[in-house]
Amino acid sequence: MARYYDVHPVNPQPRRIAQTVATLRDGGLIAYPTDSCYALGCTIGNRKGMERIKDIRKLDHRHHYTLVCRDFAQLGQFVVLDNRVFRAIKAATPGQYTFILPATRDVPRQLMNAKKRTVGVRIPEHPVVQSLLAELGEPMLSSTLLLPDTPEPLTQGWEIKERLDHLVDVVIDSGECGTEPTTVVDFSSGEPEIVRYGAGDPSRFE
């Protein structure tokens, strides 16, 4: 049964954040709010956690997982950025975007796109996520909480607890966080290509 934490959306309670991070470090899977919608998250090296995400969302091998990073210091460890791409992404973060970029050797092979050797990365603005990442000290492996039998991501913490009670270890409820996933921009060729229109304003990349 999942633990259910009611966490303040602006000033997250440190004890709740610490408890959630302890679950992550212990190999757990969490459902948490972001600045676009809810997501599923685990630590980067958690293969079982990644398989649990696959099972919940019914994903195939082509799915791009996202590394949710606290800042550019973390992001730069996992993706290759030239100066022009760095400036474009820097101007749009933190925010409601996911960027697909060439992966560095620090990215586990199972997280990369098999053909392109790319990975998705994002720096969210939500205080709860920022607190989780600060406590964890590393990025989270993440995927939008979009179930195969629902047209939109789940947005209510109580509903997620009800639907996924035996499939995740922690549900964080910080109130409404929207139903629209991030805008996804593929920079793997050096030029921006919008592959999903979402919460982030796409005009700066068109």
* pLDDT digit string, tens, across residues 92-101: 999 999 999 9
Helix, strand, coil share of the chain (percent; to 5): 30, 25, 45
Tell me which DSSP letter residue 203 carries: G
pLDDT on residue 114: 74
Give residue 126's pLDDT band: very low, low, confident or very high (50, 70, 90).
very high
Asked if residue 111 has pLDDT above 90, the reply is: no
Partnered with residue 19 across adjacent β-strands are: none
> Which pTM does this prediction carry?
0.93
Spans of all domains in the chain: 3-205
pLDDT tens for each residue of 184-196? 999 999 899 999 9
Q: What is the mean pLDDT of residues 139-155?
A: 88
CA dihedral over 131, 65, 54, 148, signed as positive or negative: positive
The answer to whether 24 and 172 have CB atoms below 8 angstroms apart is: no
DSSP H or E run through 75: helix 72-78
Say which CATH topology domain 3-205 has.
DHBP synthase (3.90.870)
pLDDT tens for each residue of 18-64? 999 999 999 999 999 999 889 999 999 999 999 999 999 998 777 77
User: Three-state secondary structure along 149-174?
Assistant: CCCCCCCCHHHHHHHHCCCCCEEEEC
Q: CA-CA distance, 76 to 19, in Å (whole number)?
A: 28
Question: Helices 14-25 and 127-136: crossing angle, nearest 10°?
Answer: 50
